[in-house]
Structure 1
Amino acid sequence: MRSRERQKAPWYVPAALATDVMGTALPVLFVFGATGQPHPFAAAFTAAAVWVGVQAVYRRYGQESLGESRGFLSTLHDWLTLLGLLAVLRVFTAEDSAPGVALLALAPAPLLTSLCRAVTHRHLKAERREAHAVRRALVVGEAGPVDRVVEQLAAGTDHAYVVIGAVTVGAGGPTALRSGVPQAGRLPEGTAPLAPDPAPAPDDGTTVLAAARRHRAELVLVVPGAALTGDRLRRLSWSVQDAGLPLVVASGLTEVALRRVRLATVAGLNLLHVAPPVRRGPQLALKSVLDRVGAALGLLVLAPLFALTAAAVRLDSPGPVLYRQTRIGHDGAPFTMWKFRSMVVDADRLRLTLAPADEQDGPTFKIRRDPRITRTGRVLRRTSLDELPQLVNVLRGEMSLVGPRPPLPEEVAAYDAVESRRLGVKPGMTGPWQVGGRSDLSWDESLALDLRYADNWSLTTDLDVLARTFRAVVDGRGAY
């Protein structure tokens, strides 16, 4: 039995169920009653029951799902399923309410469900920062791979695993682990798999289970390697699972979206098929169309705001309203990026004198209280209004609405092969950097976000980033 401090809050399921039932039934009841539609109570009951049923089928109420994500896109998917099922029921029951009224009555359901999931997700993140709602993991493997897994898990608090010890394979005492995790035991290195007369696999289960009991582990996380694979790993899994402990195996793949991975069995081998990143095809064509349509609409709707911002820039300090700068775009192609000017006219020349005050640890340059920024410029940067002229770059096809931050030529000149993968997609007005903390992020953190985006891009990813951008702009964290 897991202790209460390591369980998710008990109100998650009742809150989700109550939100889904009331958020569907009450709007349907009110709208149908106000517009004189037939059978309002039956319609409300049916809509709520189907909505809860759809969520249950997709396991949205399971402990492994609740609070783990904001759930906006999955909620939209579920809502479309709801509409389809109700349309089928409408045909079979000859229900004759007005379709437009019915759609209006169902509109609050996904919004309220998404709000509930967002609240739950935020609460769970706060709980895990305090080491609550987590699972105690015992890691098994060779010292080097174990360290890498432990360090990656320790770098974030948005997951359920807390490493409480490690059982290493092969030579080395407690000092063999540089990550500092307690060494709970050691397995012998065993016989090399290619030896002409391999010895029987050692009884690793006894050592691992003893360590798990001592440290009250709730699962065993195995990191396979040269000394822990094949039949030995299989026998260890038998021992662990027969004792009632869950077993998790680290594949070694990192920063690969789950949708790109497919498991297959060939000749008794479990193989991971990894789909390549999307670099061409209909999804990218649709992204380009949506970018240009969105940019055109944005320029049209925001024209009055452009005029007001231009006047504020001109009145605050001498110089042009717009600032242009060469940036590097898709596949290393240079382009001229436009912004509302937020600094004094000779800001580029003054940068050389401010180099010792640089607060960034990579090729980018940032100072929290940059003396070159004007009074109006601080407001523009805080609200991200200085970025609006980049809608022109999006309309021209040089940028996207969503993508990595467009780098400077001198930054790209210092890139290595890994960092250059950022250029595999178009830069964006907003992106993982903007919603992840902006200038408060280190270079390594920014790079990891951009690489994850470039390798795992999808239209749903862009929708998620756009949805989070509004909150990032309102929050203003890292905007300087």
Structure 2
Amino acid sequence: MTTTSDHAQATSTATPSRMLRYLPTSALIIDLLLMTIVGLVAIVGRRHLDLFASSASVEEQVVIAGPLMILGWIAALVILGAYHRDVFGVGTDEYRRVLDASLLAAGITGVGSYLVKFDLSRGFFVLAYGLGVPALFLGRFLLRRALHTARRRGLLRQRVLISGTRSHVDEIAGVLGREPWLGYEVIGALTPEYDLSEETATGLPVVGNSDEVTSLVAHHRADAIFFAGGAVGSSAQFRRVVWDLEQSQVQVVIAPSVTDVSNERISIRPVGGLPLMHIEPPTWSDASRWGKRAFDLFGSAVLIMAFAPLFLVVALQIKLHDRGPVFFRHNRVGRNGNEFSCFKFRTMIQDAEALVTGLQEAHGASALLFKMKDDPRITPPGRWMRRLSVDELPQLFNVFLGHMSLVGPRPQVAREVALYDSSMSRRLHVRPGMTGLWQVSGRNDLTVEEAVRLDLYYVDNWSMLQDLSILGRTVGAVLSSRGAY
């Protein structure tokens, strides 16, 4: 067992970030600045747009009402928890609280003006709150982006200890490690007293026993302690640990052995003081209903018309290069295992398929999700098309015909599907997509295991909002060309 003294020197040089405590203050300053700017814009807009014409001077009204509106808006944000430290950086809860607080502030302003018979300009009111809500959203979005960028660079991170059995600790540490924007820096593991190992299977150092949580958290100056499976023997023991930590300002997190489940499918319902986690069934069946199909049909039709000139330019370039066929049609496996002809612009030499097996053997690559960074079969025009994903635009016709969806798992060939295990076969529950989670999360730079994990997460946790988010992120992924080859 690695003792506390063995790590004293290592931890003394790593100072945990305390700048996170200033996040709420930063958000407050940004909100005040934006509200002031929006107020000035609303004054000018009311004067020039002549909204809801009134004889009263809007400047005279704002001198009285403006500060009260801002104070009321800030108060609503505070009351509804929009400045709580836990809402920053992840999830939609932060934006929901901002919206709820803004609607509350607008309602109080309107009702209050009516009750005290204050002639507040309706044009100013509409512009102030109509522009203010998007402005606050933008401010929070930019703050979040800055926070994520800082965390990816190793700043503003929380030092984390994970308590539990070694297998559970590694599972939680793996999840936190692959999402660096969350800002968790795992500094060690606490294992049960009977475990004498010095490190976990992944090399995470064991810094002490689970029953020494209080002293080890203080010694290693941890910002958070995660309790995984096997961390404590009973609820009474866990309650005592929480009591011991209540004065240390350490975040206590219970990390159950549940991964890759979206928060929309999870609900906590206390029963007799026992918090029970309920997990709703996977949502893949919702991805096959008429709403998603109607969106795909309309979206593909619009995009086909928009890209028609580009189709012509690419077709001419391919034909002029080697006089070969413009399109490459290949059988892929779609929903429920049904095969279809997938359309792509041809980016490889004409006998490319005959060389696949030899290239796999030469490079020792897996047949599953086979890709090469410097594939010798790719033609010069094909390289720029692949870099910008232009070669996949003809799949819009597959989407229009119902073979594919705009968003979904990557369509694969029969030989790849033959390698599926029972869990990977879940990818076939939905239509394959032109873009998906793996494409916007690194594309071909991802390992096979990570790409499959992202596809399975999409299948089990489908939502229309997630589809729209992936489509938006696809634009950035294509323009950056990260992982494209």
Mapping for residues 309-388 of structure 1, pairs under 5 Å: 309-358=314-363, 363-388=368-393
For residue 273 of structure 1, give the secondary structure of its aligned residue in structure 2: strand
The percent identity for this pair of structures is 33
Residues 15 and 116 in structure 1, CA contact (< 8 A), matched pair in contact too: no
**C-alpha deviations, 1:191-211, integer Å up to 9, x for none?**
xxxxxxxxxxxxx4xx22222
| Residue ranges of structure 1 left out of the alignment (5+ in a row) | 188-203
- Bigger mean CA offset, 150-159 vs 454-463: 150-159
Candidates 161, 164, 170, aligned match of 1:138: 161
Mapping for residues 217-228 of structure 1, pairs under 5 Å: 217-225=222-230, 228=233
- Bigger mean CA offset, 427-436 vs 361-370: 361-370
Residues 16 and 158 in structure 2, CA contact (< 8 A), matched pair in contact too: no
Mapping for residues 254-293 of structure 1, pairs under 5 Å: 254-281=259-286, 284-293=289-298
Q: CA deviation at 1:52?
A: 5.7
Matched with 2:429 is 424
Matched, 1:406 2:411: yes
For residue 416 of structure 1, give the secondary structure of its aligned residue in structure 2: coil
For residue 162 of structure 1, give the secondary structure of its aligned residue in structure 2: strand
Kindly provide the amino acid, as one letter, of the partner of residue 5 in structure 1: S
Matched with 2:86 is 64
Matched with 1:126 is 149
Matched, 1:437 2:459: no
C-alpha separation in 1, matches of 2:403 and 2:278? 33
Residues 12 and 66 in structure 1, CA contact (< 8 A), matched pair in contact too: no
Candidates 434, 441, 463, aligned match of 2:468: 463
Q: CA deviation at 1:337?
A: 1.1
C-alpha separation in 1, matches of 2:203 and 2:168? 14
For residue 422 of structure 2, give the secondary structure of its aligned residue in structure 1: coil
Matched with 2:481 is 476
Cα distance change on mapping 1:270 and 1:329 into 2, 3 Å: same
Matched with 1:195 is none
Matched, 1:25 2:47: no
Matched, 1:182 2:205: yes
Matched with 2:17 is 5
Q: CA deviation at 1:359?
A: 8.0
Cα distance change on mapping 1:22 and 1:210 into 2, 3 Å: same
Q: CA deviation at 1:214?
A: 2.2
C-alpha separation in 2, matches of 1:359 and 1:404? 25
Mapping for residues 120-269 of structure 1, pairs under 5 Å: 120-175=143-198, 177-186=200-209, 204=211, 207-225=212-230, 228-241=233-246, 245-269=250-274
**C-alpha deviations, 1:353-405, integer Å up to 9, x for none?**
32245585561111112122122211211111111111111111221111111
Cα distance change on mapping 1:242 and 1:89 into 2, 3 Å: closer
Aligned residues: 457
C-alpha separation in 2, matches of 1:476 and 1:423? 27
Q: CA deviation at 1:256?
A: 0.8
**C-alpha deviations, 1:290-316, integer Å up to 9, x for none?**
111111111222222222222222222
Candidates 436, 456, 459, aligned match of 1:454: 459
Q: CA deviation at 1:171?
A: 1.9
Kindly provide the amino acid, as one letter, of the partner of residue 66 in structure 1: F
Residues 16 and 157 in structure 2, CA contact (< 8 A), matched pair in contact too: no
RMSD: 3.5
Cα distance change on mapping 1:282 and 1:133 into 2, 3 Å: closer
Residues 102 and 129 in structure 2, CA contact (< 8 A), matched pair in contact too: no
| Residue ranges of structure 2 left out of the alignment (5+ in a row) | 1-13
C-alpha separation in 1, matches of 2:462 and 2:419? 25
Kindly provide the amino acid, as one letter, of the partner of residue 228 in structure 2: V
Alignment TM-score, normalising by the size of structure 2: 0.82
**C-alpha deviations, 1:154-212, integer Å up to 9, x for none?**
3331223322232211423233632333323235xxxxxxxxxxxxxxxx4xx222222
For residue 64 of structure 1, give the secondary structure of its aligned residue in structure 2: helix
C-alpha separation in 1, matches of 2:364 and 2:141? 33
